[in-house]
């Protein structure tokens, strides 16, 4: 039995009150998603904002019904066995503001633990232990209204593990955390999975390194569609026959109107993404072979730019994503760059 | 700790009980930590009561009218609690991200609502008691309690009906979205009038009082007044026992409809995505 199974899952949101006649009346958030996650796997969903990751998690956690297809958790259908599924799962979203500000960290966690039917004494014991694991034990009696965003997120994070769930859904769990706190969260996830080989964890993220480090397998999702599904190593291996370069160049100026004179049109260039970096521009290039580089340099020269630095590197998941989607992961589905 | 064996979790009635008290907890503890209510929710009602007391004294109304106003003033605390801390609460919980976690947990939503009611009731009863004690002392109210047991039963059933209505409103207000705020505002003052908070509801006339009886406080307050101030029996709208029967029916109706509405709300919410969206 799979821990998570989806068959052609789709979700369409009807938009309320379109202002003009030609405004869209619905948004397709997911279409034809097929997934099978066996028990014991740490599975990742990687995609930009608006890709459909959260919608899929909400369906799997019984908060939302699919408009097509079917989804199962622990062999139970999300549409018909919501209550049974809820006993077996938990979910934590990054940036959550849940809980009651007047309660302390310990009290908030206790309240949610009781919603899962934990004995009061057992709940307090688990809370103390988990707070210790994430280094929050000295804040157990702090009101959550007095916690920083990062500490509050840590508290929410351990809430997901107090109820001893079979399947944990983590939606961007390290969103907004500082480097050390994010590290702590990732370490905890890995230790928890190691200690509970029969449990399953589904994690959504748009941090490549996180997905690469944590996940046994990954699905890349964009505009509601699953584009690829494999281990991080195999996904990167897909690009191994290509070569990946990062070039730092003097600003290229206006993008040419004629597509035949664009960088993408240089023979041997598969993908290009351009990012502004401190008065220069960084080009991430996926080339069919090394010899395509000379054409790229010639093109830069013709556009009045000059090479400042060049690095040949192994493909990353970011490159895999760019190769599949045609843009960077930190751009949302509308192609807008995310503020960071 | 990561290697511990699976833990036992309550199900059924034990889970319902645990969920209810867990949700009541923030209400009870929160009120003890945020003590500003001691001024705003006791002193201000006392002022409102004082206005009516002086009016009744000026027109030389029977002495029990002072008691009527005091009891009405105390009961406003329950009405405000139902409006602002029950009816609007699920909407605020949704906005805060708590509703999602309530729905996601195996603890029944009805237990969550009941917990809100129990927590609110415990704290509001304290406030109402403070108002009664303070006003009784200030205005020298004399009580003549005819049947303490019946009085207690009527109070309990009134609260069951009133908080049952609050539970129903919680679902309705959640569907209404941000208009919940306006709905609460809209209902607050007119009910003071319709339910006869500061005067015997009989004065509104039979039809108006009958319509107003949909609000459980109308009959509850009327019955309690009759049992606490055994002066002129003609001041009551219906006999206390009849009012108790109507209140019991209202309690059953409100709680049943609240349960049905909550079930429906969850179904529609999951279908339309309303449990997870945050409209502003």
Taking contacts as CB-CB distances below 8 angstroms, the residues of chain A near B9 are 87, 116-118, 163-164
**pLDDT for res B232:** 63
Strands A243-249 vs A307-313: parallel, antiparallel or unpaired: antiparallel
pLDDT above 80 (res B37):
no
**pLDDT for res B127:** 85
Q: Best interface-test mutation with B: which of A10, A27, A63 has the largest number of B CBs within 10 A?
A: A63
Residue among A65, A87, A118 minimizing CB distance to B271: A65
Nearest residue on chain B to A122, alpha-carbon basis:
B7
Q: Best interface-test mutation with A: which of B9, B113, B271 has the largest number of A CBs within 10 A?
A: B9
**pLDDT for res A30:** 94
Angle at B199 between CA B150 and CA B89, to 5 degrees: 75
DSSP A10: E
Instruction: Tell me the per-residue pLDDT of B211-220, one tens digit each, with 9 for 90 and over.
Output: 989 999 999 9
Strands A167-171 vs A200-205: parallel, antiparallel or unpaired: parallel
**pLDDT for res A69:** 95
Residue among B10, B104, B273 minimizing CB distance to A117: B10
Q: Number of residue pairs across A and B with CB atoms under 8 Å?
A: 118
Sheet containing A76-77: which strands, arranged edge to edge?
A: A26-38, A2-14, A68-73, A76-77
Round to whole Å and give the CA distance between A88 and B11: 12
**pLDDT for res B233:** 64
Contact B19 A115 (CB under 8 A): yes
Round to whole Å and give the CA distance between B71 and B218: 12
Taking contacts as CB-CB distances below 8 angstroms, the residues of chain B near A89 are 104
Alpha helix (H) residue ranges in B34-108: 37-40, 43-58, 64-81, 89-96, 98-104
What average pLDDT score do residues B32-58 get? 84
Round to whole Å and give the CA distance between A27 and B52: 57
**pLDDT for res A256:** 65
Residues of chain A with pLDDT under 50: 335-340
Average pLDDT, chain A: 86
Round to whole Å and give the CA distance between A245 and A287: 8
Q: Best interface-test mutation with B: which of A81, A115, A158, A194 has the largest number of B CBs within 10 A?
A: A115
**pLDDT for res A338:** 41
What average pLDDT score do residues B145-161 get? 93
| Percent of chain B at pLDDT exceeding 90 | 36
Contact B18 A115 (CB under 8 A): yes
Nearest residue on chain B to A120, alpha-carbon basis:
B18
Round to whole Å and give the CA distance between A154 and B100: 18
Contact B2 A133 (CB under 8 A): yes
- Which has the higher per-residue pLDDT, B153 or B41? B153
Round to whole Å and give the CA distance between A157 and A137: 14
Note whether A80 contacts B: Cβ–Cβ < 8 A: no
Half-sphere exposure of B111 (CA within 13 A, CB side): 25
Confidence of residue B3 (pLDDT cuts 50, 70, 90): low
Q: Which of residues 131-150 of A touch B (CB under 8 A)?
A: 132-133, 143
Count CB atoms within 10 A of the CB of residue B100: 21
Confidence of residue B252 (pLDDT cuts 50, 70, 90): very high
Nearest residue on chain A to B6, alpha-carbon basis:
A164
Contact B30 A82 (CB under 8 A): no
Residue A269, SS3 per DSSP: strand
CA-CA-CA-CA torsion sign (A143, B84, B93, B107)? positive
Place of tokens 């309240």: A111
Contact B18 A195 (CB under 8 A): no
**pLDDT for res A261:** 67
**Tokens in use for B221?**
């307050």
Q: What is the DSSP string of A291-303?
A: THHHHHHHHHHHT
What average pLDDT score do residues B30-46 get? 79
pLDDT above 70 (res B231):
no
**Tokens in use for A177?**
């955390």
Residue among A82, A163, A195 minimizing CB distance to B2: A195
Taking contacts as CB-CB distances below 8 angstroms, the residues of chain A near B14 are 117
Note whether A130 contacts B: Cβ–Cβ < 8 A: yes
Residue A225, SS3 per DSSP: strand
Contact A119 B100 (CB under 8 A): no
**Tokens in use for A90?**
């938990």
Average pLDDT, chain B: 86
């Amino acid at each position: 039995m799979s821990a998570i199974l989806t068959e052609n899952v789709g979700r369409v949101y009807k938009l309320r009150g379109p202002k003009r006649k030609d405004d869209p009346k619905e948004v397709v958030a997911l279409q034809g998603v097929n997934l099978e996650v066996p028990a014991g796997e740490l599975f990742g969903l990687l995609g930009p904002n608006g890709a459909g990751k959260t919608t899929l998690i909400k369906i799997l956690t019984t908060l939302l019904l699919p408009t097509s297809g079917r989804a199962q958790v622990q062999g139970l259908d999300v549409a018909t066995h919501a209550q049974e599924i809820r006993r077996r799962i938990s979910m934590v979203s990054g940036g959550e503001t849940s809980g009651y500000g007047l309660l302390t960290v310990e009290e908030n966690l206790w309240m949610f633990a009781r919603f899962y039917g934990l004995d009061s004494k057992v709940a307090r014991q688990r809370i103390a232990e988990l707070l210790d694991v994430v280094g929050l034990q000295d804040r157990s009696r702090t009101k959550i209204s007095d916690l920083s965003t990062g500490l509050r997120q840590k508290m929410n994070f351990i809430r997901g593990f107090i109820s001893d769930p079979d399947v944990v859904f983590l939606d961007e769990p390290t969103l907004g955390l500082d480097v050390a706190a994010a590290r702590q969260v990732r370490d905890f996830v890995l230790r928890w999975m190691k200690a509970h080989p029969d449990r399953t964890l589904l994690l959504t993220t748009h941090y490549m390194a996180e997905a690469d480090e944590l996940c046994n397998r990954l699905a890349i999702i964009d505009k509601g569609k699953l584009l690829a599904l494999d281990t991080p190593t195999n996904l990167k291996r897909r690009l191994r026959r290509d070569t990946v370069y990062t070039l730092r160049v003097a600003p290229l100026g206006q993008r040419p109107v004629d597509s035949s004179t664009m960088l993408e049109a240089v023979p041997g260039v598969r993908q290009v993404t351009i990012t502004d970096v401190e008065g220069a521009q960084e080009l991430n290039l996926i080339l069919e072979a090394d010899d395509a580089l000379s054409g790229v340099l010639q093109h830069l020269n013709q556009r009045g730019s000059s090479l400042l630095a060049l690095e040949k590197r192994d493909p990353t998941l970011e490159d895999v994503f760019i190769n599949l989607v045609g843009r960077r992961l930190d751009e949302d589905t509308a192609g807008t760059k995310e503020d960071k | 700790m990561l290697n511990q064996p699976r833990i036992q979790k309550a199900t059924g009635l034990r889970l319902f009980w645990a969920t209810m008290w867990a949700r009541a907890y923030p209400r009870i503890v929160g009120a003890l930590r945020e003590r500003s209510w001691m001024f705003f929710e006791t002193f201000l009602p006392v002022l409102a009561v004082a206005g009516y007391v002086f009016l009744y004294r000026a027109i030389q109304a029977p002495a029990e009218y002072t008691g009527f106003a005091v009891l009405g003033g105390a009961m406003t605390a329950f009405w405000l609690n139902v409006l602002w801390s029950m009816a609007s609460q699920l909407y605020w919980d949704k906005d805060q991200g708590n509703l999602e976690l309530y729905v996601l947990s195996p603890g029944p939503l009805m237990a969550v609502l009941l917990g809100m009611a129990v927590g609110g009731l415990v704290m509001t009863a304290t406030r109402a008691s403070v108002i009664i004690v303070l006003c009784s002392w200030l205005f020298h109210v004399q009580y003549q309690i005819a049947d303490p047991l019946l009085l207690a039963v009527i109070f309990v059933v009134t609260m069951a009906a009133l908080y049952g209505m609050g539970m129903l409103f919680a679902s309705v207000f959640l569907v209404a979205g941000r208009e919940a705020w306006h709905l609460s505002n809209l209902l607050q003052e007119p009910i003071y009038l319709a339910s006869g908070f500061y005067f015997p509801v009989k004065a509104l006339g039979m039809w108006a009082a009958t319509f107003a009886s949909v609000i459980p406080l109308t009959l509850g307050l009327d019955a309690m007044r009759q049992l606490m101030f055994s002066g002129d029996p003609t001041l009551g709208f219906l006999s206390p026992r009849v009012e108790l029967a109507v209140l019991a029916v209202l309690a059953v109706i409100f709680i049943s409809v609240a349960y049905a509405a909550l079930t429906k709300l969850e179904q529609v919410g999951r279908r339309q995505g309303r449990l997870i969206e945050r409209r502003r």
